[in-house]
């Protein structure tokens, strides 16, 4: 260092300029503060970058969750449509079963009428055969032979009179016999047409059953897909939120560590400044004589440099104030952003709590459905409520004889609370309605609902067996645990349904 420079530096110290100001050519440039001379924290930068990426993923996950929620709503609407189609298909299947039973009953009546007409025709034929045989024998004998026979003339005249009277009756009987034969032919044609109708109705019933099966499979696929996508979205969002919270904690700890290191660096810088000041003080004492000798010659130069230094200090103060204002604005913006994110999380949490606490829509009143509920299955009532059952006790419900593979539906809106085998009931389905009412259905070969599933009136719940010649469905209605007569609650269709 030149003597002039050392003198200038000593003068700056005496005037109170900080030791962190260094000379660079003809300009005085500030050195960075001690707190800024601390090396940067790569872990904090990496964690901040990861937090930023996670927040973007959270935003994307929320958008995906919203899309899946809308998709779930669309699936729910489609499920409701399928359930409506299932109700209509079950109703069509029951109507086909009822029509098939009616056609089979008419066919049995036609066959009985055919047997009766055939017996009557056989009897008429036998009678006509005897009369015609007698007339034929009389016709073989000429009139002269009758005169020559050993009988009285009165008997001969009487035979002729009887023969004359029998001919018109024989003609009438022959005409009636032809009518009976024509009627029998028409009955056989009717029987053929009834068999054709039965074949067509059976085909229609099988088609309805196949369509109903396709609707079941479609419903199961939609429910499984919606549940899987919703669970995956919720799990992914929860994982991202947990990772974001962990990164925020890491950033907070890194900030505390950075503040600690900054405080240590500032303390170290203060100690160094104190040591430098002590050294400068010693140097000031040693160089006092030299300064006094050169003071007169350097006053002009010191004055100029003082002015330049003051100008530079003002610029430095302005730059420092601007930098501090920028740091404060960034800190305020970050705090506002964190507060906004916290408010968004609180609002989201409050919305979930409100959605979880929102009461479910009230179930329809069961008491208003009296006399309007459909029969669970179409058929003939074998055992009425209160009648003596096979075990000798009074029946607590009704027993309906159905067709094989007949469709069984829910009589009213409710929720399946039990579905499976139970003691002597076989497969038992219990549907819980409002106002303390329950419906028990037993005797099905297959149950197509699960416990907890919501059901609509008329929605298919199972089918009867195919192996039983005469399958029966047991229907029981209970109010607060006590059996009640279900017939006043069910809609009467016709005599074959109600018994």
Report CA 304 to chain centroid distance, whole Å: 86
Residue with tokens 């705090």: 335
**Residue 483 clears pLDDT 80, i.e. is over it:** yes
Q: Which pLDDT value is given to residue 88?
A: 87
SS3 state of residue 353: helix
d(CA 130, CA 141): 18
Q: Which pLDDT value is given to residue 494?
A: 39
**Residue 426 clears pLDDT 60, i.e. is over it:** yes
Give the model confidence (pLDDT) of 264-315 as tens digits: 999 999 999 999 999 988 888 888 888 888 888 888 888 888 898 899 999 9
Q: What are phi and psi of 382, to 5 degrees?
A: -90, -40
Q: Which pLDDT value is given to residue 301?
A: 87
Domain 373-498 has CATH 2.70.70.10: yes
% of the chain beyond a pLDDT of 70 = 79
Selected residue with higher pLDDT from 372 and 140:
372
Selected residue with higher pLDDT from 37 and 157:
157
Summarize the chain as % helix, strand, coil (round to 5). Answer: 65, 10, 20
**Residue 328 clears pLDDT 90, i.e. is over it:** no
Q: Which residues of 166-181 are buried (b: 16+ CB within 10 A; e: fewer)?
A: eeeeeeebeeebeebe
Burial of 182 (0-12, 13-18, 19+ CB in 10 A): exposed
Average pLDDT, the chain: 80
Q: Which pLDDT value is given to residue 263?
A: 93
d(CA 431, CA 454): 9
**Residue 488 clears pLDDT 50, i.e. is over it:** yes
**What is the residue extent of each domain of the chain?**
1-358, 373-498
% of the chain beyond a pLDDT of 90 = 25
Burial of 88 (0-12, 13-18, 19+ CB in 10 A): middle
d(CA 440, CA 475): 6
Give the model confidence (pLDDT) of 401-424 as tens digits: 999 999 999 999 999 999 999 988
Question: pLDDT band at residue 378, thresholds of 50, 70 and 90?
Answer: very high
């Amino acid at each position: 260092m030149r003597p002039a420079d050392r003198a200038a530096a000593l003068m700056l110290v005496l005037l109170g300029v900080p030791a962190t100001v260094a000379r660079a050519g003809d300009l005085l440039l500030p050195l960075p503060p001690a707190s800024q001379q601390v090396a940067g924290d790569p872990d904090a930068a990496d964690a901040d970058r990861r937090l930023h990426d996670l927040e973007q993923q959270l935003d994307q996950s929320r958008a995906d969750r919203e899309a899946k929620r809308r998709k779930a709503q669309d699936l729910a609407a489609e499920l409701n449509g399928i359930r409506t189609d299932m109700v209509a298909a079950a109703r069509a299947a029951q109507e086909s079963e009822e029509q098939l039973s009616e056609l089979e009953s008419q066919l049995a009546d036609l066959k009985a009428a055919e047997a009766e007409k055939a017996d009557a025709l056989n009897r008429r034929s036998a009678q006509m055969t005897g009369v015609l045989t007698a007339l034929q024998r009389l016709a073989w004998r000429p009139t002269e032979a009758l005169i020559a026979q050993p009988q009285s003339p009165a008997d001969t005249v009487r035979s002729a009179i009887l023969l004359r009277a029998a001919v018109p009756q024989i003609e009438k009987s022959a005409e009636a016999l032809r009518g009976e034969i024509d009627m029998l032919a028409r009955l056989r044609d009717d029987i053929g047409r009834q068999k054709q109708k039965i074949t067509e109705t059976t085909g229609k019933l099988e088609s309805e059953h196949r369509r109903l099966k396709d609707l079941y499979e479609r419903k199961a696929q939609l429910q499984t897909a919606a549940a899987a996508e919703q669970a995956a979205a919720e799990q992914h969002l929860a994982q991202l939120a947990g990772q974001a919270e962990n990164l925020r904690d890491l950033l907070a700890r890194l900030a505390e560590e950075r503040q600690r290191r900054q405080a240590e660096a500032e303390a170290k810088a203060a100690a160094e400044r104190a040591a430098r000041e002590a050294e400068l003080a010693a140097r000031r004492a040693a160089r006092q004589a030299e300064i006094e000798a050169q003071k007169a010659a350097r006053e002009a130069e010191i004055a100029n440099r003082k002015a330049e230094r003051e100008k530079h200090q003002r610029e430095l103060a302005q730059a420092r104030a601007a930098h501090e204002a920028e740091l404060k604005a960034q800190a305020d913006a970050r705090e506002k952003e964190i507060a906004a994110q916290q408010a968004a999380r609180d609002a989201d949490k409050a919305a979930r709590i409100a959605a979880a606490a929102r009461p479910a829509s009230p179930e329809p009143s069961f008491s208003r459905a009296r006399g309007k509920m459909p029969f669970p299955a179409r058929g003939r009532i074998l055992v009425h409520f209160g009648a003596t059952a096979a075990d000798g006790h009074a029946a607590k419900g009704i027993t309906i004889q159905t067709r094989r593979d007949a469709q069984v539906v829910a009589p009213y809106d409710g929720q399946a609370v039990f579905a499976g085998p139970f003691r002597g009931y076989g497969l038992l389905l219990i549907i819980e309605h409002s106002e303390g009412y329950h419906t028990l259905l037993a005797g099905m070969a297959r149950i197509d609902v699960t416990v907890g599933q919501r059901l609509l009136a008329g929605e298919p719940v199972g089918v009867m067996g195919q192996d039983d010649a005469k399958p029966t469905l047991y229907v029981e209605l209970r109010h607060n645990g006590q059996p009640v007569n279900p017939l006043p609650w069910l809609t009467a269709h016709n005599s074959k349904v109600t018994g």
